[in-house]
Every structure is written in C-alpha cells, then in structure tokens.
C-alpha cells in the first residue's frame, strides 16, 4: 500500500512538473507585441526617473559585446553608450567556457573575414594582455596528422596560415621532429605554430568593462540582469512651443529581468548593436526584416555542447603546449579533441582535454540532461535546420558518442598521446558553442552580420522632461520599411570560433560597418 502511494505521488509530482514547465515557460519567455503593449512601453519609459536617450545600445556582454562598446567609445568618445546584459556579469557563457586559446589564424580560408580578423585579433589581444598584465602564456601549438590521409589537411593549414600572414609557422616531418618539440606526442607530421598562446578571456572582458566604467563622465553605462525582448522603432518630433523639429528615428528596447514576468524595463537609443551569441536568432525574429548583410545569410543557430576533461596533477607534465588533431573529418563543426594548457582563474594551471562536442537539446544546454522541446522542435523544423542535421548525421552522431562515452573520448585523445591512461583524466567543465546554419542547411564558419529596421515604427512627440508620447491613433503607425530604408540595428548573426581571439578585430569590423550604415 505504501509503495503504491509513493509511486502515485511520485508520478503526480513528475506530471505536475512537466505541466508547469510547458504552461509557464511560454509566459516567462513571451513578450506581447500588440499595440496596447507598445503604448505601455512608452509609458514605462516616460515615468522612469533614470530615463536617458543613448546614442548606441550594445545588447550582449560577452567579450565581443564588451570589445564593441570599448571600440565605439574609443572611436566616438562623445557617444553615449549603454551595454545591456541578461546575466549578472560579463562573459558568463561562450566567452568563459572555452579552451582559452589565442589562435594564430591557420584554420581560415583566404579571403574569408576570419582569415583577416583572427591574425589581427591575435595581435590585439596579445598586446592588450601584456599592457594590462593579464594572464597570457605563449605556449605554441602543434596540429598533428596521425594517418597518411590527414597529411594533406595539415599541409593545407600551413599554406593557409602563410597566406593569412601567420608568423613563424613550421612543418615538422616525422615522429622524431615532433618529439623534439613535444616528447609524448606521436604522429607522421605536424604544423608547429610558436605564436599561439593561452589567456583568460573572461578576465580580458572584465578588464575592458573596468576601463569603460572607470570614468563615468565618458558616457558609458552597463545594465545587468536585463533581457532584451522586443525592439520598437520611434519617429520622434521635439515639441518646443510652436516649433516642431524634424523627426528623429530611434529604437525603444523593451526588456525585463531574466526569469521574471515583470516589470518591463525600457531603453531608448539611436542605434542598437546586438552581440548576443547563442540568442542571436531569437532577437533576429524581433528585429524586423533584414535590409542588408555582411557575410552569409543566417537562418538558425544550433547549440553544441562541448565536454572537457583535465589531466590529474600527477599527469600534468604529459604535454606543455596546445596539441590539436588534423581537422578534416569534423566538417568545420569542431576542430576535434585537443590538449590545452590553461591560465584562467577557474582552473588555474591545468591541462584540459576536449571538447567532445554534441548537439545540445537546450539553447544553453551545459548538461546532457537539459531539454527544451520548443527549442528542439524549432531547430529541427526550421528552414535549413533538418537539412543541416541530416546531411551531417554521421559527424553529429560521432560527436554525441564522444560527449557521452568516456572510453570513446579517451581513444580519440590517445591518437595524439598514446601513453595517456584513463586514470590520468578527471572531469572538468562543459561549454556551449553556437553554430550558424544558412537557409540551404550548411553550417557557416565565417563572421556574419545583418542590418535591419524594427518591425514597426510609430510616430511620437518628445515633450519637456523627456516625456515621450505617441501621436493620436489616427496617425499611428506603419511598417518601418515603408517610411525609410535606413537601418537602425545591427545583429551579429555568427561570430564563430575563434571569436574570443578575434574579438577586438571583430569589434573594429562592427564599428566600421555601423559607422557607414548608421551614418555616424
């Protein structure tokens, strides 16, 4: 009797939990887009004592977002900039859950954006870390071919690296040459890059933020725990007595504290730059129709979870530099299981091994037990989503096995260091990486940005005291694209690995494009 009661009670608890998750998940993530909600948003802005008009709102506080805010302030010191981040600090996702490698720039095809931005970003990050005494160690990198069929891929990386301007590259032929550089590594040939380094990208991002906040008079504000949910275009006329000025177009950002149903918080800015990483496609759905783009068009962002192990203290001397496999069999989704020394505050002086990448079943799926049915359904059935998964099914399945099976992971790592034993490894951490998918189902590994106008632009009047009021309903609103074709927003749709390395160079590219499109 007692056992039956416990079974029924447990079943009811589980069923109730599932029902609550389905019922209330939409409420926490939804935002009302009707006219009444838009009117309330204006009221919220007008009664907020902290209300300010900003020149630029940077949405997203990863290392790319912080670097972009910094670049804007350096190039345009008079601009008032606000950075909006949904977490309680900067760099809490992709920017901190990664290998920490400062890549030199061999992996990227000539004439791609990342072929130029990675070497440039490498030099900028190295200089910034040295100047500000941030963690940095120039340990070098080996990219190793362990089979005859992998040799052409490694040789091609050497050629690409030279074309991209990577310094001091060297091909090591035969096992003896490899052992002179890294004694425990085995392979047929290897590409040696002494200029590859390691750092703590989250420390770099926090230092950039510290610089921005050091002088409040510079016109920079950071607002944390702010989740941007909607963007409304506003054509504002100032009313000063009988004089009415020419309308100025701005963007009203509607948001709220993450995980809360309210209250709504609003921010007004001339332009919006979105550097939202894993959430970029969510915001793209609420950013109006794209007017133009840089790089490939992006339809969807898949989340890939990467599991890392680390060497136990007694085995830490097995390797002293970054050791990577030849990348050919991973189709650009992953560079494969590799060894990486670390200098970050989370792990200190460690050697991590990974990642064993796998398609995540949640946008922020740091655990294999995280599951979001809505995210999975929309990802698979999006235009290009199912094509991408089906066409890469073999690679996706193999990465899933590496992520979930420790012995399979060990065998993959032993291809580079055969002496590695299971007892040498212990669990470390998981990261989540966003991978962009184009409308034709291909996974994109180059920088992609798009410019857009809000889904709607409403006319309003600015009254004394920064009170913004909508004009009478008879004059309301039109589709924004019908009024003006000038973009007001930029969305970084894909900032692929090594975006952390290239972050300062990507920021330069973002500001270059923004200055041209927004007519700064």
Using left for φ > 0, alpha for ψ between -120 and 50, and beta otherwise, residue 192 falls in: beta
pLDDT at 277: 95
Identify the pLDDT of residue 482. 42
Contact predicate 299/317, CB 8 Å: no
β-strand pairing of 197-199 with 227-240: unpaired
Q: What is residue 15's three-state secondary structure?
A: helix
Those residues whose C-beta lies under 8 Å from the C-beta of residue 516, and which sit 6 or more positions away, are none
What pLDDT was estimated at residue 42?
Answer: 63
Residue 429's pLDDT is 93
C-alpha–C-alpha distance, residues 509 and 423, integer Å: 46
Three-class DSSP labels, 349-418: CEEEEEEEEEECCCCCCCCCCCCCHHHHHHHHHCCCHHHHHHHCHHHHHHHHHHHHCHHHHHHHHHCCCC
CATH class of the 28-92+203-295+448-517 domain in this structure? alpha beta
Would you state the pLDDT for residue 49? 55
Cβ atoms within 10 Å, residue 270: 18
Residue 27 CA to residue 201 CA, distance in Å, equals: 34
Mean pLDDT of successive 10-residue stretches along the chain, which has 520 residues? 59 52 52 62 61 92 98 96 96 94 94 96 98 97 96 96 96 97 98 98 97 85 94 83 72 86 86 97 91 94 93 96 84 80 86 89 90 87 73 78 90 97 96 91 92 88 74 52 76 96 99 97
Supply the pLDDT for residue 400: 82
Residues of the chain with CATH 3.30.9: 298-445
Please check whether residue 492 is in contact with residue 94, taking contact to mean a CB–CB distance below 8 angstroms. no
User: Cα(399)–Cα(42) distance, rounded to whole angstroms?
Assistant: 48
Q: Is 261 exposed, middle or buried (0-12, 13-18, 19+ CB in 10 A)?
A: exposed
- Sheet hosting strand 101-102, strand order edge to edge: 101-102, 197-199, 136-137
Q: What is the rounded distance in angstroms from the CA atom of residue 66 to the CA atom of residue 500? A: 11
**Beta carbons of 251 and 233 less than 8 angstroms apart:** yes
User: How far apart, in Å, are the Cα atoms of 441 and each of 15, 300, 336, 360?
Assistant: 36, 9, 22, 18
Q: How far apart are CA 404 and CA 407, in angstroms?
A: 9
Closest of 143, 145, 140 to residue 189, by C-alpha: 145
User: Which positions ≥6 away from 367 have C-beta within 8 Å?
Assistant: 430
For residues 495 and 506, is the Cβ–Cβ distance under 8 A? yes
> What is the structure's pLDDT at 21?
53
Residues 281/301, Cβ–Cβ less than 8 Å: yes
C-alpha 449/C-alpha 284 separation (Å) is 11
Name the maximum alpha-carbon separation found in the chain: 85
| Rounded Cα gap, residues 215 and 220, in angstroms | 8
**262: which DSSP letter?**
-
What residue ranges of the chain are covered by domains with CATH 3.50.50.60? Answer: 28-92+203-295+448-517
Per CATH, which fold does 298-445 belong to? D-Amino Acid Oxidase; Chain A, domain 2 (3.30.9)
3-state helix, strand, coil split of the chain in percent (to 5) is 35, 30, 35
Report the pLDDT value the prediction gives residue 463, as an integer from 0 to 100. 76
Distance CA 465, CA 173 (A): 72
The vertex-373 CA angle with 369 and 375, nearest 5°, equals: 100
User: Closest Cα partner for 341 from 95, 98, 101, 93?
Assistant: 101
Would the CA dihedral through 68, 72, 73, 79 be positive or negative? negative
Query: DSSP readout, 82-106?
Result: EEE-SSSSSS-STTTSS--EE--S-
What is the C-alpha to C-alpha distance for residues 68 and 73, in angstroms, rounded to an integer? 9
């Amino acid at each position: 009797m007692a056992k039956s009661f416990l079974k029924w009670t447990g079943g009811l608890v589980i069923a109730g939990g599932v029902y609550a998750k389905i019922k209330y998940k939409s409420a926490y993530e939804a935002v009302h887009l009707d006219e009444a909600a838009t009117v309330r948003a204006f009221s919220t802005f007008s009664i907020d004592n902290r209300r300010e008009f900003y020149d630029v709102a940077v949405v997203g506080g990863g290392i790319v977002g912080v670097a972009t805010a910094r670049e804007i302030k350096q190039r345009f010191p008079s601009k008032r900039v606000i950075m909006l981040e949904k977490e309680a600090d900067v760099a809490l996702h992709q920017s901190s859950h990664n290998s920490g490698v400062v890549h030199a720039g061999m992996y990227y095809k000539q004439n791609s954006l990342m072929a130029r931005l990675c070497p440039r970003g490498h030099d900028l990050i190295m200089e910034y870390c040295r100047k500000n005494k941030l963690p940095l160690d120039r340990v070098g990198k080996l990219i190793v071919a362990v089979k005859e069929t992998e040799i052409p891929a490694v040789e091609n990386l050497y050629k690409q690296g030279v074309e991209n301007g990577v310094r001091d590259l060297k091909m090591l032929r035969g096992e003896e040459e490899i052992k002179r550089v890294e004694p425990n590594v085995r392979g047929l040939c290897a590409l040696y890059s002494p200029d590859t380094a390691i750092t703590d990208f989250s420390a770099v991002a926090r230092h950039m933020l510290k610089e921005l906040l050091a002088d409040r008079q510079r016109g920079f504000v950071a607002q944390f725990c702010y989740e941007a949910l909607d963007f409304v275009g506003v054509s504002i006329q100032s009313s000063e007595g009988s004089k009415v000025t020419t309308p100025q177009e701005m963007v009203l950002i509607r948001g709220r504290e993450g995980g809360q149903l309210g209250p709504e918080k609003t921010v007004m800015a001339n332009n919006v730059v979105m550097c939202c990483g894993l959430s970029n496609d969510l915001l793209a759905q609420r950013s109006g129709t794209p007017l133009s783009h840089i790089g490939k068009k992006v339809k969807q962002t898949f989340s890939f979870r990467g599991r890392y192990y680390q060497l136990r203290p007694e085995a830490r001397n097995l390797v002293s530099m970054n050791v990577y496999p030849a990348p050919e069999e991973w189709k650009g989704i992953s560079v494969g299981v590799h060894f990486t020394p670390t200098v970050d505050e989370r792990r200190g002086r460690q050697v991590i091994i990974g990642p064993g990448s796998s398609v995540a079943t949640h946008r922020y799926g740091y655990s294999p037990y995280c599951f979001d049915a809505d995210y999975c359904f929309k990802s698979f059935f999006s235009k290009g989503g199912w094509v991408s998964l089906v066409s890469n099914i073999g690679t996706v399945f193999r990465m899933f096995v590496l992520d979930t099976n420790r012995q399979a992971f060990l065998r993959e790592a032993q291809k580079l260091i055969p002496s590695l034993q299971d007892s040498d490894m212990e669990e470390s951490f998981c990261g989540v990486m966003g991978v962009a998918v184009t409308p034709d189902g291909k996974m994109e590994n180059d920088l992609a940005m798009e410019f857009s106008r809000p889904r709607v632009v409403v006319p309003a009047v600015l009254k004394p005291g920064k009170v913004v009021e909508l004009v009478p309903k008879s004059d309301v609103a039109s589709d924004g694209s019908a009024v003006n074709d000038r973009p007001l927003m930029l969305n970084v749709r894909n900032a692929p690995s090594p975006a952390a390395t290239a972050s300062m160079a990507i920021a330069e590219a973002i500001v270059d494009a923004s200055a041209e499109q927004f007519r700064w």
